[in-house]
Amino acid sequence: MAWTADEEFLAEMKRFDPTGLSMERRFLLRELLKLVDHLEGDTAEAGVYEGAASSIICKARGRRSTHWAFDSFEGISAPSEHDHDFWTAGALASSEAGARAILDPLGAVVLKGWIPDVFAEASIERLVFAHVDVDIHDPTLASFEYFYDLVVPGGLIVCDDYGFAVCSGAKEAVDGFMAERPEKVIHSPTGQGIVIKL
């Protein structure tokens, strides 16, 4: 595949993922952002971890909009009965300082706190792109509930965890939420679930 020769992209992403296991998802994320380049509004991510996806979003949009980055930096919240038994509270904890070192220079607004409570700290009027990467059911559902009405027509919501067996709760949350709405969820072979707002 020609994209595997994009040495600049690969080198940048390998600092986040030396194994390369997330490269296809990150490359698709970068490409999906081209679909909203003509739209005006902010971007957001729920589940920042080390900042890889948020950095891709910031670089794609430049300084013409605000990127809102939400994370507890204390790992995932307690899984519910909807979630695979793979997960435990506190898994995937990450460094707030490390994420800020990457995202602050790009102009992102990093907000530390638990979803959905942390959303109250933001002042978002409209979104063109929202990335949800929180792995389990309840925060995934809360993120879609918060982001969906803010996303403008033509904007995207991407669930990073949609197609992964250990993230079955995230898929259940997205499918349940979107079942009452006109958009279809596009299940990418990379595992991402993509919603294009009508």
The pLDDT value recorded for residue 81 is 96
- pLDDT by residue, tens only, the chain of 198 residues: 999 999 999 999 998 988 888 999 999 999 999 999 999 999 999 999 999 999 999 999 999 999 999 999 999 999 999 998 999 999 999 999 999 999 999 999 999 999 999 999 999 999 999 999 999 999 999 999 999 999 999 999 999 999 999 999 999 999 999 999 999 999 999 999 999 999
What's the angle, vertex CA 106, arms to CA 69 and CA 54, rounded to 5?
35
**Pair of tokens at residue 170:** 């995230």
Neighbour count for residue 67 (Cβ, 10 Å)? 24
Give which of 115, 120, 154 is closest to 137, Cα–Cα.
115
**Strand boundaries in the chain, DSSP class E:** 42-46, 67-71, 109-112, 127-132, 151-159, 185-187, 193-196
Instruction: Give this prediction's pTM.
Output: 0.96
